[in-house]
Amino acid sequence: MVRSSTDAAALVHARGLTKHFGALVAVNGIDFDVARGEAFGFLGPNGAGKTSTMRMINCVSAPSAGELSVLGLNPVTDGPRIRARLGVVPQADTLDTELRVDENLYTYARYFDMPRALARQRTRELLEFVQLTDRAHDEVEPLSGGMKRRLTIARALVNEPELLLLDEPTTGLDPQARHLVWDRLYRLKQQGVTIVLTTHYMDEAEQLCDRLVIMDKARIVAEGSPRRLIDEYSTREVLELRFAIDARPGLDGKLAGVADRVELLPDRVLLYTHDGEAAAAALHGRGVRPESTLIRRSTLEDVFLRLTGRSLIE
């Protein structure tokens, strides 16, 4: 296999990466590279194979086939050396519920063989960073979901990782807690930490990722920056129409030719066009009277719909 010099410099390099669970194919021959300093995302619905991929990068799940190198090393044989330089935020919190907040960070630092004094210092700094200093001596269980997530992020940073893996960092959090997490991740990005994250929220992917791949049914279906993916797979604007339930059948034929592409969803109709206003006026001229009309910019959600024919969140 030919490998270009830029690929060799990649922090994560995968070719034909595959994971089987018995007969089930969770990851089916995917290719990607993560460059140092970038924020790279896997965007895809539940069951796409995101977590399985992250676990292989984390060296806690052996690839069934294909090539994978992490930090230039082989995950199967160099697991401990690779993991020493990774930070991991797993999909489900795995905090040590028997220990207090500060003890969680201290013991985790010790797993990385950090000297005790340094472990204590890192604990203080990181509690400050994730704004949990006042909860340092509390038990973990009563913390809110957002606080637990922040503590998990602090824990992942304890060894000053070169590569931070975040599996659905904000799933299940309320909007305020999400923004707090995003803010911290954004700061890390500014500091030059390489981030690999998975998400099924298109806004999260747009906010945080420099580059992403869209995953569906164990495969990568598209790759690029959020902007480029939208330019490539969608139109500039989207006209969203909602109709009273009984008005839908009367639409037959009336939408043809108004937009580049039409998607009929159960709850709304999407018309992809470079000019939403013009499309709306044209429909009005044809006597189409929706209950509500919205003109918006295209998002990654539209890209996903285009590529897979389904919504990201069912």
Ligand X SMILES: Nc1ncnc2c1ncn2[C@@H]1O[C@H](COP(=O)(O)OP(=O)(O)O)[C@@H](O)[C@H]1O
Q: Which residues bind another protein (CB under 8 A)?
A: 21, 58, 60-62, 74, 76-77, 79-81, 83-84, 86, 88, 90, 92, 94-99, 103, 106-108, 110-113, 155, 159
Cα 195 to Cα 30, 151, 153, 238, distances in angstroms: 19, 17, 12, 31
**Cα(209)–Cα(201) distance, rounded to whole angstroms?**
12
Rounded to the nearest 5 percent, the helix, strand and coil shares of the chain are 35, 25, 35
* Residue 57 binds which of Mg ion, another protein, ligand X, none (CB < 5-8 A, kind-dependent): none
Q: Indicate the residue among 27 and 126 with the shorter CB distance to ligand X.
A: 27
**Is there binding between residue 53 and Mg ion (CB under 5 A)?**
no
86 - beta bridge partners?
A: 163
**Cα(9)–Cα(148) distance, rounded to whole angstroms?**
34
**Cα(119)–Cα(108) distance, rounded to whole angstroms?**
9
Nearest CA to 152 out of 237, 143, 286 is that of 143
With H, G, I as helix, E, B as strand and everything else as coil, classify residue 49.
coil
Cα 74 to Cα 62, 69, 86, 187, distances in angstroms: 11, 5, 14, 30
Q: Indicate the residue among 221 and 294 with the shorter CB distance to ligand X.
A: 221
Rg of the chain in Å (alpha carbons): 23
Site map 72..111 versus Mg ion, x via CB under 5 A: -------------------x--------------------
CB under 6 A: which stretch of 46-54, 66-74, 116-124, 273-281 binds ligand X? 46-54
* Residue 121 binds which of another protein, Mg ion, ligand X, none (CB < 5-8 A, kind-dependent): none
Q: How far apart are the first and last CA of the chain?
A: 39
25 - beta bridge partners?
A: 20
**Is there binding between residue 172 and ligand X (CB under 6 A)?**
no
**Is there binding between residue 51 and Mg ion (CB under 5 A)?**
yes
* Residue 26 binds which of Mg ion, ligand X, another protein, none (CB < 5-8 A, kind-dependent): ligand X
Q: Indicate the residue among 47 and 72 with the shorter CB distance to ligand X.
A: 47
Site map 267..306 versus ligand X, x via CB under 6 A: ----------------------------------------
300 - beta bridge partners?
A: none
- Quote the least distance from Cβ 185 to Mg ion, whole Å: 18
Q: Indicate the residue among 53 and 234 with the shorter CB distance to ligand X.
A: 53
Cα 8 to Cα 30, 62, 193, distances in angstroms: 17, 21, 19
**Is there binding between residue 23 and ligand X (CB under 6 A)?**
no
Q: Which of 46, 94, 121, 144 binds ligand X (CB under 6 A)?
A: 46
* Interaction site with ligand X (CB under 6 A): 21, 24, 26, 44, 46-52
